Structure 1
Amino acid sequence: MKLQCDVEVVSRMLPTFGMRSRGKGARAVLSIGKHPDKSNQRAGVYMMICTAKDRAGSKYKLRDNIEKFFTWFVEEGKATVRLKEPAVDICLSKADANSLKNFLSAARLADRGSDTSSLPLSTLTPVRARDVENPKKKLTIVFKKDYPLTSNFPYSLEQLQVSYCKLSRVDMRMLSLKALRKLDLSNNHIKKLPSTIGDLGCLAELILHNNHLESFSEALCLSTLQRTLQHLDLSQNRLQGLPSQFCQLRELVNLKLDDNRLAWLPFHIGRLGKLKFLSAAHNQLALLPSDFRKLSLENLDLFGNPFTQPNPLDHTIQLKFPLPLQELASRAVVNLRIPYGPHLIPAHLCKDLEVAKTCDCSRVCVRFFIKTAVSMNLHQVSSTVVLVDDMGGTDAPVQQHFCSISCYSQFLDNCLQRGIR
């Protein structure tokens, strides 16, 4: 039984002499195996710790010698083994969680004096220098011939780039890299993303530039990426739209959507409160969602979209007189901020409430409204704006909703007065 991890051996006698441990582990290989006991010439089970400075290894007896296991953070690859003699704590970190559990289980059996035939014992021999090197944090593969077919990716990777390898799908071996912070799969042929990407609990940067993606699933938007993802590059794909749940990725700072087939942006894009860089050039956007006004960006690029000059008189009326009871109740729930959820009301009503529109009067409308478009200078939402068109403009059409005819009439009156002035 062997385990690769960071190890710090801390003497519990240090405080007696007014000393402290250095608090930093060294890369090591731990082994559990037999070693002749010179006192009675029988084989005992020992734990051996080999480091770069001590490749021959230090050995510690296990039988009846473990005072306690500290395993509160074993799922994070951390644990501590407290020995009776010598009085030391063996602190383990940066280990694979499953391998660590198996190693601790073997150590526990050895401490209890279990039959050695039932233990996964190793030969206690010095290790090679490469076995105790610091774990690899970054790996870049840009040639198909270098792509590993039989071996796994180093579990310690924090940054992985696999480009120009003609991948048609995401390799499931990548999804076991729990320390991964940056995944770059640009310039491949990936058509679909597995929802298990959302299980990468540290992933802050996901680059999928120049692939064949046709959708971004709702499951990814509702995964742990909500708390970790800060940079997302979906440029040069085949996306026609993004789900409304996309705006649950509220840690996003940088979003690239260039060169797709997007006909619309997510309705509640204004909920991306941390978004600072947005690029959606060369898509099929005819107008922007009304929630776009809530953004506060540093850089915005919408060049090459088929925006047209809006006319407030061109409108769509979706109203009934009187308003249906369901509409009145839905408006009341949102206006009064009454809590709701699928455990209280039917799920389809929850979806309606999630896309409630805000009128000029600050009240909301759900299914019944008047819709038009107005022109907005994009400098209202971004410090730097790339020109919207070849004419040097920075204005774009934004959706506008009205909860009633009176609100729409007042809006037209205001437009007329501004025109007269």
Structure 2
Amino acid sequence: MKLHCEVEVIHRHLPTLGLRNTGKGVRAVLSLCPSRPHARGEPSSPPTACLLISTMKDRRGTRYQLKGNIEQFFIKFVDEGKATVRLKEPPVDICLSKANSGSLKDFLSAVRLTHRGCDINAPLSTLTPVKTSEFEKFKTKMVITSKKDYPLSKSFPYSLEHLQASYCGLVRVDMRMLCLRKLKKLDLSHNHIKKLPATIGDLIQLQELHLNDNHLESFNVALCRSTLQKSLRSLDLSKNKIKALPVQFCQLQELTDLKLDDNELVQFPFKIGQLTNLRFLSAARNKLSCLPSEFKNLSLEYLDLFGNTFEQPKVLPVIKLQVPLTLLESSARTILNNGIPYGSHRIPFHLCQDLDTAKTCVCGRFCLNSFIEGTTNMNLHSVAHTVVLVDNMGSTEAPIISYFCSLACYVNSSDMLK
């Protein structure tokens, strides 16, 4: 009987000697093994079991007697995979963590029976050293930085939380990676990946995704609608060939760190202001000519837009007002201004797309196809604490588009366009 978890053995008498415990658990395999093998001629009575703790550094393990030797169990957090077994001799506390809660409960039940001298009705493990492969199965971090080290014939450890596979010449995302449901950080930088599979969105715990220095030309819309909306916090897409991000990209509302340097971006998603948690934004050396109107809704700590092809604000506005408003325009404004829920289960899909791409007037109301568009310069310090200079001339200003839903809004806000 075995249990895989992290273990810290705390010697209770060390503090009285002025010494301290390490305070850090290590990955271990716990086994219930016979205290000693039967000698020839001995009756085959049920063997007494001991606890064997094996680690990567000590695969033969350390044995602890259990029968009548347990002072107390601490199981308040057993449902979280944590427990402590206090032994009498030696005076140690065996602290267990990061265990499967079901396996931990079964193992502790067997330990309790052994302590009482009862038969545990389970096969005991041998006293042979634990194989290295036993620990490989429970690795939480794997870093691969060359093609020759990339595993082709064996699968990735299912317990991985951090996987890096850089400089491996990958042309697509390995589907085996998408089965790692505990993955929190995935680094596939410095490869040749051209397309992202929608199934990356099945990694429900993924918080960091690094895809810099690849051959990406787009970002999959399906990822913007996946569970990444609630988990993804850091995304690095720098050094690719991306020209535009979909409007749905702004549904990744947990993003705090976004890197888009050295792409071919001609514009930001116009609803970028919905990324209310974004704190670090870098999009240097792209082809941005102006910023969308909702950019001013951001609240950043760091902003880098150096080396973009920003244009001077247009002197005259672009007027696309419709008088009277069309039925589509009037209906769309009513739905959006009143926050009425909509979806493809209620209205045609193409109308949902129209509503998703509606523009926000400076007054806070919405417009669809009837508006006035104007451009003005914005000091980037109004949205970011730290701003990298936009150009070599020391400027921290960039042109931003503003929309007006009516002539009255335009006249009342004309000062901002001067």
Shorter-chain TM-score category? 0.7 to 0.9
> SS in structure 2 opposite 1:5?
strand
How does 1:56-75 map onto structure 2 within 5 Å?
Answer: none
Q: 1:238 to 1:357 in 2, by over 3 A?
A: same
TM (norm. structure 1) is: 0.73
- What amino acid is the match of 1:400? S
User: After alignment, is 34-43 or 171-180 more displaced?
Assistant: 34-43
Match in the other structure for 1:241: 244
Distance 1:305 1:373 in 2: 17
Which of 287, 294, 318 matches 1:284? 287
Letter in 2 for 1:229: L
Alignment equivalent of 1:385, drawn from 378, 384, 387: 387
Partner of residue 61, structure 2: 55
178-187 vs 129-138, which moves further: 129-138
Structure 2 letter corresponding to 1:330: A
Match for residue 364 of structure 1? 366
**CA distance in structure 1 between the partners assigned to 2:411 and 2:127 by the alignment:** 86
Q: Distance in 2 between matches of 1:363 and 1:144?
A: 54
2:215 pairs with 212, 217, 225, which one? 212
Following TM superposition, by how much is the alpha carbon of 1:334 offset from its aligned partner in structure 2, in angstroms? Answer: 2.2
1:256 equivalent in alignment to 2:259: yes
Question: Is the contact between residue 55 and residue 128 of structure 1 (CA under 8 Å) also seen in structure 2?
Answer: no
> 1:373 aligned to 2:363?
no
Change (3 A) 1:392 1:92: closer
Paired letter, 1:286: S
The residue type paired with residue 152 of structure 1 is S
Q: Does the C-alpha gap of structure 1 residues 2 and 173 become closer, same or farther in structure 2, counting only changes over 3 Å?
A: farther
1-side partners of 2:416 and 2:34: how far apart?
88
* Uncovered stretches (5+) of structure 2, i.e. residues with no partner: 10-22, 68-75, 86-93, 114-118
Report SS of the residue matched to 1:391: coil
* Counterpart residue number, 1:222: 225
Describe the shift of the 1:139–1:376 C-alpha distance in structure 2 as closer, same or farther (beyond 3 A): same
Cα contact 1:37–1:43 (8 A) shared by 2:
no
Correspondence 1:232 to 2:229: no
More deviation, 351-360/49-58: 49-58
- Is 1:327 aligned to 2:333, yes or no? no
1:288 Cα deviation from its structure 2 partner: 1.1
Displacement after TM superposition at 1:135 (Å): 5.3
* Per-residue deviation, 1:165: 1.3
Q: 2:352 matched to which residue of 1?
A: 350
1:294-309 alignment runs, 5 A limit:
294-309=297-312
Cα 1:24/1:283, change in 2 over 3 Å? closer
Map 1:390-409 to 2 at 5 A.
390-409=392-411
Whichever residue aligns with residue 209 of structure 1, its letter is N
Post-superposition Cα deviations, 1:50-90, rounded to whole Å, max 9, x if no partner, equal 434883767999xxxxxxxx99969xxx499x9xxxxxxx9
- Tell me the CA shift for residue 7 of structure 1: 6.4
Which digits, 9 at most, give the CA deviation of each residue in 1:138-178, with x for residues without a partner? Answer: 33222211222223334443333221111111222333333
SS at match of 1:373: strand
**Superposition map of 1:83-98 within 5 A:** 94=98
User: 1:36-55 maps to which residues of 2 (within 5 A)?
Assistant: 41=44, 50-52=53-55, 55=61
* Distance (Å, rounded) in 2 between the aligned partners of 1:306 and 1:45: 77
Sort the Cα spacing of 1:407 and 1:323 in 2 relative to 1 into closer, same or farther, 3 A: farther
Are the equivalent residues in 1 in contact too, given 2:38–2:44 (CA < 8 A)? yes
Alpha-carbon RMSD across the aligned residues, in angstroms, is: 4.5
Seen in structure 2, the aligned counterparts of structure 1 residues 175 and 329 have a Cα distance that, compared at 3 Å, is same
CA contact (8 A) 2:290 2:398 kept: yes
Looking at structure 2, the residues matched to 72 and 354 of structure 1 have their Cα atoms a distance apart, in angstroms, of 46
Q: Give the count of matched residue pairs.
A: 387
2-side partners of 1:222 and 1:346: how far apart?
A: 19
Match of 1:18 in 2: none
The letter for the 1-side match of 2:98 is: K
Q: How far has the Cα of 1:300 moved from its partner?
A: 1.5
| Distance (Å, rounded) in 1 between the aligned partners of 2:243 and 2:374 | 23
Provide the C-alpha distance between the structure 2 equivalents of 1:386 and 1:400, rounded to a whole number of angstroms: 23
Deviations 1:374-413 (A, max 9, x none): 221222112222222333322222111111233334444x
Label 1:406 to 1:25 Cα distance change in 2 as closer, same or farther (>3 A).
closer
Q: Give the residue type in structure 1 aligned to 2:61.
A: R
